[in-house]
Amino acid sequence: MAGMTKSVGKTDIVEVVASAKETKSMLKIWLDGRLVDKDEAKVSVFDHGLLYGDGCFEGIRVYSGRIFKFRSHLERLFRSAEKLRLKPAYTIDEIDRATRETVTVNELTDAYIRLVLTRGFGDLGLNPFNCPTSGTIIIADKIQLYPPEFYETGVAVVVADRPRIPIKCLDPSVKSLNYLNSILAKTEAIEAGVLEAIMLNTDGYVSECTGDNLFFIKDGVVYTPPTDSGILHGITRQFVIDDIAPACGLEVQEKMVRIDEVLAADEVFLTGTAAEIIGVTKIDETVISGGKVGPITRSFNEEFRRRVAADAPED
């Protein structure tokens, strides 16, 4: 192990230098009020986040040092917590400051942030109120991007057999730590050899994908399933509705649709923090947009990149 010396000699010096370097560059994690080395960032096996998926989280991007739509993400995190009746241990402003500190201390300018609120340490029973203090985790790390060709050529997706969990069972607008509904649908995508799976709600209407929202374009009109179709209220989705589409001279209409309407679309694209805006060129066996990324999707993508490249909005 680097830094552990068995004998004194030339090699020992190299090892010690390597160790100092490692320590310096060891990722720091913000855990319950303290910045700790990645190796020390551990949670209890009695944390209900682990035992029951009881908690909520956010995935956020940093573009050139600016935390994209940070306020919206923080507000969504606190909304999720409220719906779970989870009391965050820190205020929204404290988490804001701690997140910025975590990004700075790790010297990151283009990064991915994961904010996690867990129910906290409790007993083996389900009762969340037996967990006196919720846990707070802030991870900021380098971002792993999708291959650039995904944006050039578009991606294939499937329609999942598994429906989206209904709002009255576990509202998909809560970004909870229990992602099993998405994970099992994602398994269908992986087994089909594609990136994503479109999920229908239990009434058979299109909702969203396992980790992305869905848009489609027909005769120059942009549509997306409404929030009451049972979706995560995507920050990227809202940015497309509020900023990107209008900047391209278009308006987005929210519409409850069956999958047939999406299959007959001129263009389909997905939005998400990781994916940004990514064109869909095939759904199951149906080729979309002649198998190419359509012109409106391209213009939206260009507009998105332009806006995050310089002075990405943090509100």
102, 106, 136, 271: which one binds ligand PMP (CB under 6 A): 271
Report the amino acid identity of residue 248: C
Active site residue 42: no
- What is the nearest approach in angstroms of ligand PMP to the Cβ of residue 97? 22
Alpha-helical regions (H) of the chain: 10-25, 48-52, 70-83, 92-105, 148-153, 180-191, 235-239, 245-247, 259-263, 295-309
> Count of residues binding ligand PMP (CB under 6 A)?
14
SS3 of residue 39 by DSSP: helix
**How many angstroms separate the CA atoms of 270 and 208, rounded?**
9
Q: Among residue numbers 200 through 259, which ones bind ligand PMP (CB under 6 A)?
A: 208, 211-213, 232, 234-237
SS3 of residue 56 by DSSP: strand
Q: Tell me the window of 16-24, 80-88, 268-276, 295-303 that interacts with ligand PMP (CB under 6 A).
A: 268-276
If you ran DSSP here, which 8-state letter would residue 86 be given?
-
Among residues 175, 186, 218, 255, the one annotated as catalytic is: 175
| CB-nearer residue toward ligand PMP: 156 or 232 | 232
Q: Among residue numbers 154 through 183, which ones bind ligand PMP (CB under 6 A)?
A: 182
Helix or strand run (H / E) with residue 208: strand 206-209
118, 273, 289, 301: which one binds ligand PMP (CB under 6 A): 273
| CB-nearer residue toward ligand PMP: 19 or 150 | 150
Query: What contacts 223, CB < 8 A, 6 or more positions away?
Result: 215, 216, 217, 252, 253, 254, 255, 257
**How many angstroms separate the CA atoms of 18 and 25, rounded?**
11
Q: Tell me the window of 120-128, 240-248, 267-275, 292-300 that interacts with ligand PMP (CB under 6 A).
A: 267-275
- What is the nearest approach in angstroms of ligand PMP to the Cβ of residue 134? 21
53, 59, 166, 313: which one binds ligand PMP (CB under 6 A): 59
**How many angstroms separate the CA atoms of 178 and 185, rounded?**
13
| CB-nearer residue toward ligand PMP: 59 or 166 | 59
Let me know: does 155 contact 195? Beta carbons within 8 Å.
Answer: yes
**Sign of the torsion angle spanned by Cα atoms 162, 166, 169, 175:** positive
| CB-nearer residue toward ligand PMP: 13 or 183 | 183
Query: What contacts 221, CB < 8 A, 6 or more positions away?
Result: 250, 251, 253
- What is the nearest approach in angstroms of ligand PMP to the Cβ of residue 56? 12
- What is the nearest approach in angstroms of ligand PMP to the Cβ of residue 43? 21
- What is the nearest approach in angstroms of ligand PMP to the Cβ of residue 189? 13
Report the amino acid identity of residue 200: L
- State the catalytic residues: 175
Which residues are at the interface with ligand PMP (CB under 6 A)?
Answer: 59, 182, 208, 211-213, 232, 234-237, 271-273
